Structure 1
């Protein structure tokens, strides 16, 4: 709710000339009513709750309506509960006094469009405690107003794991565990028909980082040969991760017929006999044979290493035979991205770009897609990431969601490789996989074999294989590019398709 900073003075009736007095009073009242609206404004914040991912960043955007210059205004961001000041800007100055200590060093004021009344506060990294009600407050010399909105913090945890342990003679205990979830997730057990099963016990605890660790147990009959699955679900993100176990495969059958039992026993005896004979022979020829064996093992190991490197080099050489002239599709680009005229490079900008709004455009994920659509065959392209401190590359389904907060993972239709921060390389699989390089890659090769269900990444600098996704592709796919945000003058170089 807005208000005037000071009341306007009351007007007294003029003296004398009564017929003219009525007209003059009416005129002054009209002027007063016009003046009351001058300088007033509304503050528009996020219309829907902002979904912020744990460990990532959230941008809390607010703007004035009608559009006006806010350089000489005071702008503040508050948390309503618990109450506290997050950021304070006043007439081109940033004030650090009185801020909540847990936000110091984690906030950045984005004022590139402040002359149009559009500003934002970036919070990074997001912590579980950041969820709640927020307000952004604007104050001019004569008026003030604010907007309130909600931030929902969410975290998608690890793929669950099922541990099998025997109970008594009749039952087996299945224990499903997973960690890294926020808020408290939902855990479900299902049988092979998809019917929900009631757990024997279930605990959900908050660990040191503020995220939830879940543990749920199910007791099943030992004679069962059915399949059971454990699914952990984040209701805010609409993301679920599951694992299943087949009791027939997991357990050695107890009711084994005696002929089968005898066959197993004789097989074990035969193996023991062969091993014994080999040990005796080995002892007789210990001297010369051992020296020869060591030389042979060293030779084989050397050849295996050579073959591995040769396979990787041949793999890249094979992939390059399917090189594509990949270009960028500006209609899919987020407004903070600038796509070059030749559509071969993209980089982040400080200001929103004046580009037409398109239904193909991402409104939150700061990325752009390739123009090409792949539904079959083999395709290869290379991207320069030299001097970049953050980037993500790969493919995604053409049908991926392009509105709101999006988790980049195979579950949502993305298969990517990224540099999150200095030397923190990851394959963004269902559970992110940390990758290690002897030397940081400057050129990434990407090879899609659609029918084989493989997406491979290569370090072109040393001709080495990085990582391969294996998936059954059934939809149209497009190249995916995320050049990363600007960081204090860093990351200004573009991602360039070679």
Structure 2
């Protein structure tokens, strides 16, 4: 009887040890945040300690703020596709080492909406545990764009860059590498969850040859731009001299052109005057009236009539008529005396 009792007690102890070993486990997750680039894949680590076989366990992943949206559910030795939220469908999976207690989640094609805190929940028949971690989705934004405008004796320099995740760090520096602190920076989150940064500062061109604006994610994916601001000086300077010279030359050309145009219209230019005088002479010759020549009675005593000499050649005749055409008029008093 005693031996039977001892055997029964031994069996109870062994069963208790096996039961405790199978039921008592803890969840191991990273203490620091997990980060990955936008559009890439990431593994969210989660494992059992001791490394029990979790193939028969229930494994569930969900976001802490979205507990009603299941990221992944493993039950009855398979992933329940119908229970996965549409936001994560076809993008999540277990990495396939459940026999060793590895229940880590793989998430593909990262989006900005994926960032946040995730919870790993594991449940056996008699025990359950959970662990959490934070996912950071990183995105490198655009190269900073610098511009400036005058603000009294100084320049107001601005720097803009878009499309960062998470919030980047913006730094101003001069040509010596010294960080400039008299700045104002503003962050704006767009509809896709990306961060746009805007910054301004007052700068004196005499303080440095150039200034730079650097935007980065903790020295990752750093983007930098530089500008050489030049304050316009209306009292001197190379560009001022170029501007004045160009202005004066333009005024002189306009004045000369205007004078020539006026002289041309008035016919006071030499070539225009000679042409105009020649034309006027031709017109006056064509309009010259025929000469009136009185014939004295003594000169026409034997002819008694007026006549003109006509060359025999018809061409010369016509030319002679045109050149020496004249009107002859009889003097009545001379005729009466005859």
TM-score w.r.t. the length of structure 1 is: 0.43
Matches of 2:31 and 2:240, distance apart in 1: 68
Provide the secondary structure at the position in 2 that maps to 1:175: strand
User: Are residues 68 and 200 of structure 1, via their aligned partners in 2, closer, same or farther at CA, if it must alter by over 3 Å?
Assistant: closer
| Partner of residue 139, structure 2 | 155
The answer to whether residue 87 in structure 2 is matched with residue 88 in structure 1 is: no
The answer to whether residue 42 in structure 2 is matched with residue 58 in structure 1 is: yes
Where has structure 1 moved over 6 Å in runs of 4 or more?
19-22
Q: Which stretches in structure 2 are left out of the alignment for 5+ residues?
A: 254-338
The Cα offsets for residues 340-389 of structure 1, whole Å up to 9 and x where unpaired, read as xxxxxxxxxxxxxxxxxxxxxxxxxxxxxxxxxxxxxxxxxxxxxxxxxx
Matches of 2:142 and 2:18, distance apart in 1: 59
User: Are residues 28 and 124 of structure 1, via their aligned partners in 2, closer, same or farther at CA, if it must alter by over 3 Å?
Assistant: closer
Matches of 2:148 and 2:80, distance apart in 1: 57
Shift of 1:223: 4.9
Match of 1:240 among 208, 218, 222: 222
Matches of 1:259 and 1:99, distance apart in 2: 67
The answer to whether residue 20 in structure 2 is matched with residue 37 in structure 1 is: yes
The Cα offsets for residues 105-125 of structure 1, whole Å up to 9 and x where unpaired, read as 4x2213433343334322233
Matches of 2:114 and 2:31, distance apart in 1: 18
| Partner of residue 70, structure 1 | 54
User: Are residues 23 and 241 of structure 1, via their aligned partners in 2, closer, same or farther at CA, if it must alter by over 3 Å?
Assistant: same
Aligned length: 250
| Partner of residue 490, structure 1 | none
Q: Is the 8 A contact 2:92 2:105 kept in 1?
A: yes
Shift of 1:144: 3.2
User: Are residues 152 and 260 of structure 1, via their aligned partners in 2, closer, same or farther at CA, if it must alter by over 3 Å?
Assistant: closer
| Partner of residue 198, structure 1 | 181
| Partner of residue 322, structure 2 | none
User: Comparing both structures, which one devotes a greater share of its residues to helix?
Assistant: 2
The answer to whether residue 210 in structure 2 is matched with residue 227 in structure 1 is: yes
The Cα offsets for residues 433-455 of structure 1, whole Å up to 9 and x where unpaired, read as xxxxxxxxxxxxxxxxxxxxxxx
Provide the secondary structure at the position in 1 that maps to 2:104: strand
**Greater RCO (CA < 8 Å, at least 6 residues apart):** 2
Q: Is the 8 A contact 1:110 1:122 kept in 2?
A: yes
Q: Which stretches in structure 1 are left out of the alignment for 5+ residues?
A: 1-16, 274-498
Match of 2:236 among 226, 235, 256: 256
- Cα RMSD (Å) of the superposition? 3.7
User: Are residues 171 and 27 of structure 1, via their aligned partners in 2, closer, same or farther at CA, if it must alter by over 3 Å?
Assistant: same
Q: Is the 8 A contact 2:233 2:240 kept in 1?
A: no
Match of 1:213 among 192, 196, 210: 196
Matches of 2:103 and 2:183, distance apart in 1: 51
| Partner of residue 144, structure 1 | 128
Matches of 1:141 and 1:149, distance apart in 2: 25
Shift of 1:76: 1.2
* Bigger Rg over Cα: 2
